[in-house]
Amino acid sequence: MLGLLDRFKRKKKTDEAVKKPEQMMTELEQLCGNDKETYQALIDAMFLDPTKIQMSMKDAAEDAKKAEKAKDFVKARTMYEVAGGLAIYEGDVDKVVEFFGECERLSPDRKYPILKNPEKAVAVAQEYYKKHLKA
């Protein structure tokens, strides 16, 4: 009977079994390095492949304004986010600030970290796009 109980006892996990496998850093994390603020700003705002977005930055901004006039603030904020993401892709810092500023205005409870240092965030995003979206 003792031999049977020994078979069902849980084996203690060794330190090696408990260790988590090392996580691989994404390309974006590597580009940001130790700058967690820029990484968080981009992960929340940029498109990894903006070429798949089927509208222009201008069209997204116009749709946002129409939705805002119609008092559809959720759609307006969403379209401003799309426009802002496309502005990041185009490298237009002024438009990034404009569009994500509109998002914050429409949703004051939500903060957009990209507005803290948009120049740096856009520069890192441009490095990412040059490496991954070779035309």
Report pLDDT digits (tens) over 20-33. 444 566 888 888 88
Q: What is the pLDDT of residue 10?
A: 55
Question: Does the pLDDT of residue 35 top 50, yes or no?
Answer: yes
- Percent of the chain predicted with pLDDT > 90: 68
pLDDT of residue 27: 84
Report whether 87 contacts 114 (CB < 8 A).
no
Q: Tell me what the mean pLDDT of segment 46-68 comes to.
A: 95
d(Cα 24, Cα 99) in Å, to the nearest integer? 32
The one-letter amino acid at 109:
D
Does pTM surpass 0.85? no
Whole-number pLDDT of residue 21:
44
Query: Rounded distance, CA 9 to CA 30, Å?
Result: 44
Q: Domain coordinates of the chain in residue numbers?
A: 35-132
Average pLDDT, the chain: 86
Going by pLDDT thresholds of 50, 70 and 90, the confidence category of residue 132 is confident
